[in-house]
């Protein structure tokens, strides 16, 4: 409310009049709008959660497409997906700047596909502003594909909060059998980007995904900023983000607490930058697993900077399956990473997933670990288990300072088939002997 607290008693008589005029103006405006509105400033305060300051929706650009105007009913337990997809269709077919608005309220949704190509002009992304809660139907048979909410074949997209997508995972996690079955079907990802170019995702909260919280594939130039991604420590395969077959992905200022990898980077990912991400609980940041399938694409140019791992099982991990076809994992920088009570802070595992006497042929090279500091919760703080069929080359360790979480523990590093160079401080001490 824009009335200053200095208002004197003399002017207070005018307040009801001012209020009345303001209300009349609002009512008059909303009476004019039918289905489409010109965007204005929507300033609905969101409640503070976990001590993080509340976020406000940003101003809405262009013409507004509100899901309520297309029949979506908040609070209804049936899937509102048809109304959401109709809203998207109208925005996508609109030849101008369009914003889809999901207002406050809880919207139940089964499989929801936002498909392009759209008619938005180049340089004018379609915005989807989520103010309320999108809640998944808790029944795996509702989902024909590996996703709950997908964006496909879209060029120019902005998805913003401050709302929440709730995958209703607790009702379906029991159907995940990946602990006993290497070829298990993954449960649907909450937010799936397939062939999306030039997108930004920011200010959203994602909770309790069935499978991955976010899955990005066949995409390019994606910027992710300011997300909160939460699932319980014991939830199965709830990776915060999985990125594959994509070039140019940037993730920053995000908090990820899950039951599986914080961020996993799969085959065909190139030019991926991760910074100011806090992970934990979960399995840490990993490249891989690689080499499970035939003819996998290389992973190159990954940088992870200024990140913190809290109580994760792994810190920074590269994992490849044995008996793989040939590919490359090269040109990674891990810089300024704080490990807080992390079980295995630095790990390369080229015998991941299964036992085989055939080596992995994923060649790992040009990997720099720089300014890695903090505490380890188990004695093997550095474990470089590289492949006899494709030894790791040009690994660089620069200023490593890992201390045991428990005073009585001694940390060590082990290396197999690894060519490592050391510069600056080294705790634990360099592993010996390096591979010839």
CB of 114 to ligand NAG, least distance (A): 23
φ, ψ (nearest 5 deg) of residue 420: -125, 135
- Which residue from 82, 124, 225, 306 is in contact with ligand NAG, where contact means CB under 6 A? 306
CB of 257 to ligand NAG, least distance (A): 21
Closer residue to ligand NAG in complex, CB, 115/273: 273
φ, ψ (nearest 5 deg) of residue 77: -85, -10
CB 155 within 8 Å of CB 198: yes
- Which residue from 79, 115, 138, 303 is in contact with ligand NAG, where contact means CB under 6 A? 303
214 three-state secondary structure = strand
Respond yes or no on whether the N-terminal peptide bond of residue 281 is cis (omega within 30° of 0). yes
- Which residue from 63, 276, 341, 399 is in contact with ligand NAG, where contact means CB under 6 A? 276
Q: Please report whether residue 305 would count as binding ligand NAG according to CB under 6 A.
A: yes
Q: Please report whether residue 394 would count as binding ligand NAG according to CB under 6 A.
A: no
CB of 258 to ligand NAG, least distance (A): 22
Active site (annotated) includes residue 260? yes
- Which residue from 39, 248, 389, 404 is in contact with ligand NAG, where contact means CB under 6 A? 248
Closer residue to ligand NAG in complex, CB, 85/158: 158
Q: Could you tell me which stretch among 2-10, 35-43, 299-307, 368-376 binds ligand NAG (CB under 6 A)?
A: 299-307
CA 415 to chain CA centroid, nearest Å? 31
Closer residue to ligand NAG in complex, CB, 272/346: 272
Spell out where 27-179 has E strands: 36-38, 63-66, 98-102, 106-109, 112-115, 126-130, 133-136, 147-160, 164-166
Q: Please report whether residue 253 would count as binding ligand NAG according to CB under 6 A.
A: no
* Element containing residue 373 per DSSP (H, E): strand 362-376
CB of 304 to ligand NAG, least distance (A): 9
- Annotated catalytic residue within 283, 298, 340, 349: 283
The DSSP result for 66-121, as a single string, is: EGGGGT--TT-SS--HHHHHHHHHHHHT-SS-EEEEE-SSEEEESSEEEE----PP
User: How many other C-beta atoms can be found within 10 angstroms of the C-beta atom of residue 6?
Assistant: 6
CB of 372 to ligand NAG, least distance (A): 14
Strand partners of residue 157: 126, 199
Q: Please report whether residue 250 would count as binding ligand NAG according to CB under 6 A.
A: yes
Structural tokens at position 114: 């936002």
Closer residue to ligand NAG in complex, CB, 86/305: 305
d(CA 415, CA 411): 14
The DSSP result for 150-208, as a single string, is: EEEEEEEEEEE-SSEEE--GGGTGGG--TTT-TTPPPPPEEEEEEEEEEEEEES-EEES
- Annotated catalytic residue within 166, 239, 260, 298: 260
CA 407 to chain CA centroid, nearest Å? 35
Active site (annotated) includes residue 139? no
d(CA 218, CA 142): 25
Q: Could you tell me which stretch among 105-113, 179-187, 289-297, 303-311 binds ligand NAG (CB under 6 A)?
A: 303-311
CB of 271 to ligand NAG, least distance (A): 5
CB of 435 to ligand NAG, least distance (A): 30
Q: Could you tell me which stretch among 111-119, 225-233, 271-279, 345-353 binds ligand NAG (CB under 6 A)?
A: 271-279
Q: Which of residues 316-345 bind ligand NAG (CB under 6 A)?
A: 336
Structural tokens at position 63: 């013409």
Structural tokens at position 233: 């420590």
How would you classify the pairing of strands 63-66 and 98-102?
Answer: parallel
Closer residue to ligand NAG in complex, CB, 104/250: 250
CA dihedral 263→269→273→278, nearest 10 degrees, is 0
Q: Please report whether residue 124 would count as binding ligand NAG according to CB under 6 A.
A: no
Q: Could you tell me which stretch among 153-161, 268-276, 314-322, 351-359 binds ligand NAG (CB under 6 A)?
A: 268-276
Q: How many amino acids of this chain bind ligand NAG (CB under 6 A)? A: 10
The DSSP output letter for 85 is: H
Q: Please report whether residue 275 would count as binding ligand NAG according to CB under 6 A.
A: yes
d(CA 374, CA 342): 9
CB of 335 to ligand NAG, least distance (A): 8
Q: Please report whether residue 368 would count as binding ligand NAG according to CB under 6 A.
A: no
| Residue linked to tokens 């600056």 | 424
Q: Please report whether residue 225 would count as binding ligand NAG according to CB under 6 A.
A: no
d(CA 242, CA 213): 8
Q: Please report whether residue 79 would count as binding ligand NAG according to CB under 6 A.
A: no
CB of 219 to ligand NAG, least distance (A): 12
Q: Which residues bind ligand NAG (CB under 6 A)?
A: 248, 250, 271, 273, 275-276, 303, 305-306, 336
Catalytic residues: 260, 283
């Amino acid at each position: 409310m824009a009335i200053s607290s200095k208002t004197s008693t003399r002017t207070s008589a005018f307040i009801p009049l001012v209020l009345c005029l303001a209300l009349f103006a609002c009512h008059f405006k909303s009476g004019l709008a039918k289905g489409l509105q010109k965007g204005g400033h929507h300033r609905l305060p969101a409640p503070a959660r976990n001590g993080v300051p509340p976020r406000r929706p940003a101003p809405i650009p262009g013409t507004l497409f509100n899901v309520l105007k297309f029949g979506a009913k908040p609070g209804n337990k049936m899937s509102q997906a048809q109304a959401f997809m109709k809203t998207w269709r109208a925005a996508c077919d609109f030849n101008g700047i369009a914003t889809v608005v999901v207002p406050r309220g809880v919207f139940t949704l089964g499989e929801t596909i936002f498909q392009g190509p759209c008619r938005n002009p180049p340089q004018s992304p379609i915005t989807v502003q989520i103010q309320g809660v999108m809640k998944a139907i808790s029944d795996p048979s509702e989902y024909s594909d590996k996703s709950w909410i997908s964006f496909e074949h879209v060029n120019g997209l902005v998805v913003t909060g401050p709302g929440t997508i709730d995958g209703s995972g607790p009702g379906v996690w029991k159907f995940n059998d990946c602990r006993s079955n290497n070829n298990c079907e993954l449960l649907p990802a909450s937010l799936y980007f397939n062939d999306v170019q030039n997108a930004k995702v920011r200010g959203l909260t994602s909770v309790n995904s069935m499978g991955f919280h976010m899955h990005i594939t066949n995409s390019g130039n994606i910027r992710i900023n300011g997300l909160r991604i939460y699932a319980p420590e014991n939830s199965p395969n709830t990776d915060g983000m999985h990125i594959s077959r994509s070039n140019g992905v940037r993730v920053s200022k995000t908090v990820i607490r899950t039951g599986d990898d914080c961020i996993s980077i799969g085959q065909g990912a190139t030019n991926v930058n991760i910074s100011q991400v806090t992970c934990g609980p979960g399995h840490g940041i990993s490249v891989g697993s690689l080499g499970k399938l035939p003819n996998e694409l290389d992973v190159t140019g990954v940088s992870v900077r200024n990140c913190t791992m809290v109580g994760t099982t792994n810190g920074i991990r590269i994992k490849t399956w044995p008996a793989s076809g040939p590919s490359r994992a090269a040109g990674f920088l891990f810089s300024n990473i704080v490990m807080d009570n992390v079980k295995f802070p630095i790990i390369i595992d080229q015998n991941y997933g299964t036992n085989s006497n055939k080596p992995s042929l994923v060649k790992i090279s040009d990997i720099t670990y720089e300014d890695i500091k903090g505490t380890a919760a188990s004695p093997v703080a550095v474990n470089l288990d590289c492949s006899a069929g494709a030894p790791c080359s040009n690994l660089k360790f620069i200023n490593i300072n890992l201390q045991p979480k428990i005073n009585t523990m001694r940390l060590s590093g082990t290396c197999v088939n690894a060519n490592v160079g050391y510069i600056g401080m080294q705790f634990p001490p360099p592993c010996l002997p390096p591979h010839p």
